[in-house]
Structure 1
Amino acid sequence: MIVGPNHNGIGLGAAVYKGDAWETPLGLIEVEKEVARLIVEYTEYYSFDNEAHVYEHSLEVQVPFLQYIYGNVPIVPVTVYVQTLDVARDLGSALARIREENGVDIVLLASSDFNHYEPHDVTVEKDELALSKIMELDDEGLYKVIEEYNITMCGPAAAAALINYALKLNAPKPVLLKHATSGDITGEKDWVVGYASVKFPHP
């Protein structure tokens, strides 16, 4: 299951992909259609809509890594344009319900950049504020620091959905694997984007 932001605003505000498969240079990867159907059934805000996925990159860049490591592991692609806490919690709760009522072992991958287009030091500081709330499993706190400190994180709803899902499962606290900015790679540190990798232990 992969959820990420809808950057272009095309299609519905919370869109579940309806189809048989996605194709990447590594081949086809199956879409788990029954889980997709249950997400739409169990949520208030999410509907089937393929238009929202046509030009969106936040999910498709993750898929080749999944194929390379796991092969044809089934996915359910979901994009979110309406980045509210209610929309995020709606998805997290639905996934927990699907797991409990239907016996589906769902692993949720949330895709998001962190702060955008400020100097490296500023971005690191802002990212750490957001990351602290993610590590504390505080979805409401994440939204508060984003607003208070003007953190231009593109997918807060994806992260908050993952937090909510982890809380519903009583999962252990997450582990920060890596935090960096584009400046760490390019050397250009006046105008960077923040990135992080956080692992939520699977209960």
Structure 2
Amino acid sequence: MSHVSVGALFTPLGIVVLTVSDTRGFDEDGSGDLLVKHLSESGHILVERRIVPDDIYQVRAVVSEWVARTDIHVILVNGGTGFTTRDTTPEALIPLFDKAIEGYGELFRHYSLKTIGTATIQSRAVAGVANKTLLFAMPGSPKACALAWDKIIALQLDSRTRPCNFAAMVLPSATPCSGRHTATSSNDGERL
């Protein structure tokens, strides 16, 4: 995490979108369309977009290829996070993580509880970091993608979000935070 200074500038990130589905093509991929629209409107750069079947090895192969590239900072994966036998996105991604971002899944389920009730426990939204690349997996519905982007991901990819965000961690020229700065406080007295 990076502790952000007042007046920090926005830095666009290179983002890819992967839709995991046995049935959707680009014409039917409302979730992928939504993520592309939102990331572009936020000022980030769409580097690539793909659709792969619900297959653990195909998902892992595409993500592994992207993690090795230096022009990709963030991978957004939608679909394959449920409990059917074909839902294997978490199993494909978790072995690739250098570190898991456990709070993402927790926060996603917290927000979705308000709209879908206890069915939120069936969401296996996961996130992690692999080779300085952020990976966020979310359910494949447009509403779930909008919730993940609007409530969590967009803020953490914005280099101006205070007190901390993930942008500095994935940018090659940035200096990540080396520790908490407790002497500095915001105008409202909150410790930063």
**TM interval, short-chain normalised:** 0.3 to 0.5
Looking at both structures, which has the greater relative contact order when contacts are Cα pairs under 8 Å and sequence separation is at least 6? 2
Please, what TM-score do these two structures have when normalized by structure 2? 0.44
**TM-score with structure 1 length normalisation?**
0.42
